[in-house]
A = this chain, B = another copy of it.
Amino acid sequence: MPIVTIQQFPRPLEQKRELARRITEAFVEVYGAKEEAVQVFFSEIDGEGWAKGGVMGCDKTDK
């Protein structure tokens, strides 16, 4: 622990790389967690697998 699971749209690897680094750094500095204890899982989903306000992401025009 801690285990971090992120539900998000697909993102380029370099963005995920930097985000994972920053999230891990936050746990180390705020919680005093051991760096190696922090795991981050990216659960990527597209507009055909997600809906908000009753409308599928792929049907939204206001993205």
**Interface residues, chain A, CB within 8 Å of chain B?**
1-9, 11, 13, 15-27, 29-31, 35-36, 38-45, 48-56, 58-59
Specify the main secondary structure of chain A where it touches its partner: mixed
Cα–Cα distance between A43 and B55 once the two chains are bound (Å): 17
A24-B56 in contact (CB<8A): no
Using known A-B contacts A8-B1, A30-B19, A31-B15, determine if residue A49 contacts B53 with beta carbons closer than 8 Å.
Answer: no
Q: Which 5 A-B pairs have the closest CB atoms?
A: A20-B51, A24-B54, A22-B26, A2-B8, A3-B7
A54-B25 in contact (CB<8A): yes
Q: How far is the CB of A38 from chain B (nearest CB, A)?
A: 7
